[in-house]
Structure 1
Amino acid sequence: MTDLAPRPGSRRTDLDLLRVVACFAIIVAHATLIFTSEPRYHVKSASPHLLPTVIYEAFRIGTIPLFFALAGWGSVVALRRRSGARFLRDRAERILLPLVAGILLLGPIIRFIELQQGRNIGLGGWRLVDPLTTGLLEFLPRYWGRLNLLTWSHLWFLAYLFIISVVLLPLLQHLARQVVSMRMPGRMLAFLPAPALAVVAVAGDAYWPNLSNLVQDWGSLVFYAACVALGAWLAAWPGLEGRLRQDAPLFLALAALGFALMVAAPDSVTGRIGVGLCAWGAIGASFGYAGRHPPAASRALSWLGGSTMAVYVLHHVPLLLIAAALLPLAMPGAAAWAIIVVATTAITLAAYRWLVEPFAAPRLLVGMPRRKA
């Protein structure tokens, strides 16, 4: 059965849609994180609640492995038409440069807001501190002059992805050279990555605590590298994507089962088994349902798809500024959350449209390709 498998060379509007949805989900997740019991964040509500905590975990496990899988898929496609050296140069321009630029240009604002809130998130975790009383202009040279103040915040994803891209390059090249197979695998093989990811998560103590600082997070780095490898496997074997499409409801059920284990027993062997099951279930269901119902190509989808990298890089600053302004007003949490999500999305897309998209330098700094002449 190959009729469900994607045709090589065709425009993948389903994956364009996945990237857009996953990017918006990151904004929603960060807005939700403000109201959770997870203490490691730049701005926190004084009244955390259980429901946002559970919702945030669903977004976190549902979107981050998917992002890495999409990156693996895209890496194999890119390596089919360029050398390994060219691929690494492209990764440096599209991932490493935005990471460095973000640390230097966005990092001081994020750290300034964080310290104003009386919080300090560093390599060793987080701690409460006396709120910062200096102004931003006075803080800037202090930030740039002290290594322990530098932060990559949400841009940890770029750091992890660059390292993974370098380490997995031989595997990615191998998969890119393979003859594309339209043969649909059996169900057992298609679900095998779920227990494999569970083993990786348990062996590396991955996912918890939510530090994303490399120093104490090697287990998660390996786990996300496995997600990249699985995304690359999907690109090399369209027939496997056909299986995901056929069994999308089963993958969704697998994700639900894994998430239930995560919620029932967080930061434990059982919880990490749930992380592995949920991650592959979420990847499989996302690829499967998007492939079942691909949207028609349109200018809007193309524009939104092209904006995702810039939106990911830029969204955190307006989100934190809005949150820091709203929380002292003591409005209902749901109302504050909705305003943060909507306003952040609108401001970030506007910044992309009028401050980034038309200009060469901002495009380069957020990892976008150069404009075609």
Structure 2
Amino acid sequence: MTVAKFPRHYGMDWLRVGAFALLILYHIAMVFADWNYHVKSAHAESWITVPMLLVNAWRLSLLFVVSGYASRALLARSRSPGDFAWGRSKRLALPLAFGIAVIVPPQPWAELVSKAGYQAGYWTFWTRDYFRFSTIGGLDLPSWNHLWFVAYLWLYTLMLALVVACLRLGRLQDGFDRLFGRWLGGIGVVLLPFAWYAFIHARWFAMAAETHALFGDGIAHISYLPAFLFGFGLAGSPAAMAAIRRWWPLGAVMALAGYGFVAGVELRWIGPFGPALYVRYGIAHAAEQWGAIVALIGLATRFLNRDHPARATLTEAVFPFYLVHQTIIVLVALWLMPAGLPFAAEFAILVAATVAGCAAFYYGGRRIRWLRPLIGLRLHPRPVRPALL
């Protein structure tokens, strides 16, 4: 694959910021939805899942697409695939290890306290039980919980570096780009990935649940690794980007139609839920998943591909925000449980506390030199645009 420099796509930066903001709001909503989560509010209602399904199908796939796109720029600035892999390992594996050891532990503690009657305090849990590599109250400890995304992204990055090195040795540097542009340089940019995801969700894994356990999580890998590679290829394919600019309205129609069907099933407008409906549900999920990604990239290219004074700070801050946000949500939700507050007050406090806590974590952490690498920042701040995750 030829690794050439290319202009920065500010729209992809804004998509990344927006996707992480949605993820944080989504996890706050998980406290109130009737889906399984670490700590649940007394106000949990089934209807909350319906608006959540508007983003559920594509929110994580979009992050992998954007991360793959950013990897192209990072690889272009690296001296070699090995240098690229080492740099990404420092920016991903180090925060992952720090997160598993320090940031994540309050989450299983809060879950055990609220669901399993765990009596010990947090310090006892962290020093005695968390690192026992055993199961307590149904939880496998230690855990990476929401940081599975970082682990998967790091794995895909190492795989990419290895493939790029092999392709260079095999004199096939441009093969991937030529094939990408040939197949995805027209309406295929919408239809081919949609067909892949429809096959996955309707037939191959039939809407199987992800485990985020790395091994035995086939549904996640066959969904997210292609999304990551698509983003990498898109960054080097003007033809595919032009196709997205042309066909994004079709993606938007697909996404809305897919969501309409999925929401109709959840609201019992469509049914009964049987094998035939399950296939249609998987196809609708795939239409929403890929249609939304095409539409969002097209809209970002059309309307958001411009810089702003706040962009550099926001693109740097989203990774530290991501690292700590769920721990803040879970602890605040646990603290609010006995208060008996109305739904609106509880939700507002969770949003305000999460934003304030994430901001304090980022602004405080970036001023401490030894802490910077542990929260995903460069050891030495540089007066340049920050790299994407």
Shorter-chain TM-score bucket reads 0.7 to 0.9
- Structure 1 residue 362 corresponds to structure 2 residue 359: no
* CA RMSD after TM alignment: 2.8
In structure 2, what is the Cα distance between the partners aligned to 1:78 and 1:67?
16
Partner in structure 2 of residue 123 of structure 1: none
2:70 to 70, 74, 86: 74
Partner in structure 2 of residue 125 of structure 1: none
In structure 2, what is the Cα distance between the partners aligned to 1:206 and 1:24?
29
Maintained 8 Å contact 2:33/2:45: yes
Shift in alpha-carbon separation, 1:172–1:345, aligned structure 2, 3 A = farther
2:307 to 288, 297, 300: 297
The one-letter code matched in structure 1 to 2:151 is A
The one-letter code matched in structure 2 to 1:165 is T
Partner in structure 1 of residue 129 of structure 2: 143
Partner in structure 1 of residue 61 of structure 2: 65
Shift in alpha-carbon separation, 1:333–1:213, aligned structure 2, 3 A = farther
Shift in alpha-carbon separation, 1:63–1:290, aligned structure 2, 3 A = same
Partner in structure 2 of residue 153 of structure 1: 145
In structure 1, what is the Cα distance between the partners aligned to 2:156 and 2:7?
27
Partner in structure 2 of residue 332 of structure 1: 342
Query: Over residues 56-113 of structure 1, what are the superposed CA-to-partner deviations in whole Å (9 max), with x where a residue is unaligned?
Result: 2333323100000011111222222322211221222111221111110012211111
Partner in structure 2 of residue 3 of structure 1: none
Report deviation, 1:48.
2.6
- TM-score (norm. length: structure 2): 0.82
The one-letter code matched in structure 1 to 2:104 is G
In structure 1, what is the Cα distance between the partners aligned to 2:236 and 2:265?
35
Partner in structure 2 of residue 42 of structure 1: 38
In structure 2, what is the Cα distance between the partners aligned to 1:215 and 1:345?
33
The one-letter code matched in structure 2 to 1:57 is L
Shift in alpha-carbon separation, 1:249–1:334, aligned structure 2, 3 A = farther
Percent identity, aligned pairs only, is 28
Report which stretch shifted further, 19-28 or 255-264: 255-264
The one-letter code matched in structure 1 to 2:331 is L
Secondary structure at the counterpart of residue 315 of structure 1? helix
Secondary structure at the counterpart of residue 247 of structure 1? helix
In structure 1, what is the Cα distance between the partners aligned to 2:41 and 2:68?
36
Report 1:1-373 matches (<5 A): 9-39=6-36, 41-82=37-78, 83-118=80-115, 129=116, 131-148=117-134, 149-169=141-161, 177-178=173-174, 185-202=185-202, 204-205=204-205, 208-264=208-264, 268-294=278-304, 296-353=306-363, 355-372=364-381
In structure 2, what is the Cα distance between the partners aligned to 1:203 and 1:72?
27
In structure 1, what is the Cα distance between the partners aligned to 2:306 and 2:357?
27
- How many residues are matched? 354
Shift in alpha-carbon separation, 1:186–1:108, aligned structure 2, 3 A = closer
Maintained 8 Å contact 1:172/1:232: no
Report deviation, 1:216.
4.2
Maintained 8 Å contact 2:186/2:239: no
Shift in alpha-carbon separation, 1:112–1:16, aligned structure 2, 3 A = same
Maintained 8 Å contact 1:201/1:223: no
The one-letter code matched in structure 2 to 1:234 is L
Shift in alpha-carbon separation, 1:171–1:251, aligned structure 2, 3 A = farther
